[in-house]
Amino acid sequence: MQLSGLSLQQAPPVSVPFRFFLSAPVFGMLAAVLLIWWGDEALGSRWTPAMLAITHALVLGFFTSIMFGAMQQMLPVLAGAVITRPRLVAWLLYLSWMTGVVTLLLAFLVKKSGLFAASIVLLGMAVLVFAWAVGTALMRASSQSQSLRGMKLAVLALLLTLVLGMVLAWGHTGNMILLRPWGTNLHLMWGLVGWVGMLIVSVAWQVVPMFQITKEYPNYLVQWLAPCIFGLLLIRSFVSLGHFGLPHYQWLWQLLSLFAEGLVSLLFIAFALQTLRLQHYRRRKIKDYHIHYWQLACGSLLLSVACWWGAILVASWQWPVWLLEPLHLLAVTFFVVGFVMAVMTAMLYKIVAFLIWLHLHNINTQLQMAGKSGTTVPHMKTIISNVYTKIQFQTYLLALGVILPAVLWPVQFARLAGVAWFIFFAMMALNLGRALSLYRRFKMAS
Amino acid sequence: MTTIANYMSGDHRHCDAIFAAAESAVDEQDWELAKQQTGAFLKAMEEHFSIEESVLFPAFEQATGMAGGPTQVMRYEHQQMRSLFAEMEMALAETDEDEFLSVTETLLIMMQQHNMKEEGIIYAMSDTLLGPEDVSSVLSQIHNIAAA
Check residue A11 and give its pLDDT.
74
Same domain, A156 and A279: yes
How many other CB atoms are there within 10 angstroms of residue A423's CB atom? 18
Query: Domain span at residue B101?
Result: 4-147
Position A137 scores a pLDDT of 85
Residues A138 and A154 in one domain: no
Residue B69 banded pLDDT, cuts 50, 70, 90: confident
CA A51 to chain centre: 18
3 state DSSP class of A71: helix
Does A235 lie in the same domain as A188? yes
Q: Do A3 and B23 touch (CB under 8 A)?
A: no
A86, pLDDT greater than 80: yes
Decide: helix, strand or coil at residue A422: helix
Is the pLDDT score of A262 beyond 90?
A: yes
Provide the pLDDT for residue A82: 78
Q: Same domain, yes or no, for A127 and A165? A: no
- What is the predicted pLDDT for the residue at A296? 98
pLDDT at A10: 61
Alpha-carbon gap, residue A215 to A362, rounded angstroms: 31
Q: Give the per-residue pLDDT at B2.
A: 87
Q: In whole angstroms, give the CA distance from residue A162 to residue A77.
A: 27
| B29 has a pLDDT exceeding 70 | yes
Q: Are residues A158 and A225 in the same domain?
A: yes
Across the interface, which of B70, B110, B116 has its CB nearest the CB of A6?
A: B70
3-state SS, A175-207, equals CCCCCCCHHHHHHHHHHHHHHHHHHHHHHHHHH
Burial class (CB in 10 A: 0-12, 13-18, 19+), A110: exposed
Out of A77-86, A210-219, A289-298, A363-372, pick the least confident. A77-86
| Least confident segment among A2-16, A404-418, B127-141 | A2-16
> 3-state DSSP call for residue A167?
helix
**Nearest CA of chain A to the CA of B96: how many Å?**
14
* Mean pLDDT on B24-38: 97
Count: domains in chain B: 1
B117 vs A365: CB contact, 8 Å cut-off? no
Q: How far is B58 from chain A (nearest CA, A)?
A: 17
Residues A277 and A286: their CA atoms lie apart, in Å, by: 17
Average pLDDT over residues B80-107: 96
Contact A107, A115 (CB under 8 A): yes
The span from the CA of A43 to the CA of A39, in Å, is 7
Whether A236 is covered by a domain: the verdict is yes
Q: What are phi and psi of A297, to 5 degrees?
A: -60, -45
Mean pLDDT of all residues in B16-24: 97
DSSP category for residue A367? H
Domain boundary among A96, A127, A143: A143
Please give the DSSP secondary-structure letter assigned to residue A62. Answer: I
Task: Indicate the range of B10-14, B27-31, B94-98, B113-117 predicted with least confidence.
Answer: B113-117
- Torsion sign (Cα): A136, A139, A145, A149: positive
Specify whether the CB–CB gap between A406 and A43 falls below 8 A.
yes
User: Rounded to whole angstroms, how far apart are CA atoms A291 and A298?
Assistant: 11
Binned at pLDDT 50, 70 and 90, residue A77 comes out as confident
pLDDT score recorded for residue A372: 82
Residues of A in contact with B21 (CB under 8 A): 283
DSSP line for B72-133: HHHHHHHHHHHHHHHHHHHHHHTT-HHHHHHHHHHHHHHHHHHHHHIIIIIIHHHHHHHHHH
Reply yes or no on whether the pLDDT at A374 is more than 90.
no
Interchain proximity B20–A77, CB inside 8 Å: no
Residue where one domain finishes, among candidates A285, A309, A327: A285
The per-residue pLDDT of chain A, averaged, comes to 92
Q: What is the rounded CA–CA span in Å between residue A9 and residue A6?
A: 9
**Average pLDDT, stretch B112-118?**
92
Instruction: Please state the rounded mean pLDDT for residues A215-244.
Output: 92
The CA distance from A50 to A37, in Å, is 9
**Is residue A172 assigned to a domain?**
yes
Residues A347 and A411 reside in one and the same domain = yes
Residues of B with CB under 8 A from a CB of A: 16-17, 19-21, 23-24, 27, 64, 66, 69-70, 73-74, 76-77, 79-80, 83, 98, 101-103, 105-106, 108-110, 112-113, 115-117, 120-121, 124-125, 128-129
Angle at B136 between CA B135 and CA B142, to 5 degrees: 90
Residue A295 counted as domain residue: no
Distance CA A335, CA B30 (A): 41
CB pairs under 8 A between A and B: 95
Contacts of A119 (CB under 8 A, 6+ apart): A100, A101, A103, A104, A107, A169
* A114-129 CB burial, b ≥16 within 10 A, e <16: ebbbbbbebbbbbbbb
- A242 falls within a domain: yes
Domain boundaries, position A122 = 1-143
Cβ neighbours for A188, distance < 8 A, ≥ 6 positions apart: A332
For residue B121, give the CATH number of its domain. Answer: 1.20.120.520
Query: A285, A308, A335 — which closes off a domain?
Result: A285
Q: What percent of chain A has pLDDT over 70?
A: 98
Q: How far is CA A38 from the centre of its chain?
A: 24
pLDDT tens digits, one per residue of A420-439: 999 999 999 999 999 999 99
Chain B residue with Cα closest to A144? B120
Amino acid at A59: V
Question: Number of folded domains in chain A?
Answer: 3
Q: How far apart are the first and last CA of chain B?
A: 23
The predicted structure's pLDDT at residue B95 = 97
Best of A222, A284, A360 to mutate (most B CBs within 10 Å, chain B): A284
What percent of chain B lies above the pLDDT cut of 70?
A: 99
Beta carbons within 8 Å of A435's beta carbon, 6+ residues apart: A352, A353, A356, A383, A384
Q: Which of B4, B85, B109, B130 best probes binding to A when mutated, by most A CB atoms within 10 angstroms?
A: B109
Measure in Å the smallest separation between the Cα of B142 and chain A Cα atoms: 23
- Residues A233-246 as b/e (b if ≥16 CB within 10 A, e otherwise) read beebbebbebbeee
Per the DSSP assignment, residues forming a β-bridge with A6 are A81
Instruction: Provide the greatest CA pair distance for chain A.
Output: 80
**What do you get for the CA distance between the two ends of chain A, in Å?**
42
- Residue A79 within any structural domain of the chain: yes
Mean pLDDT of A253-273: 95
pLDDT tens figures, A59-72? 999 999 999 999 98
A306 inside domain: no
Domain-embedded: residue A294: no
Give pLDDT tens digits for A1-48: 455 556 666 678 899 999 999 999 999 999 999 999 999 999 878 889
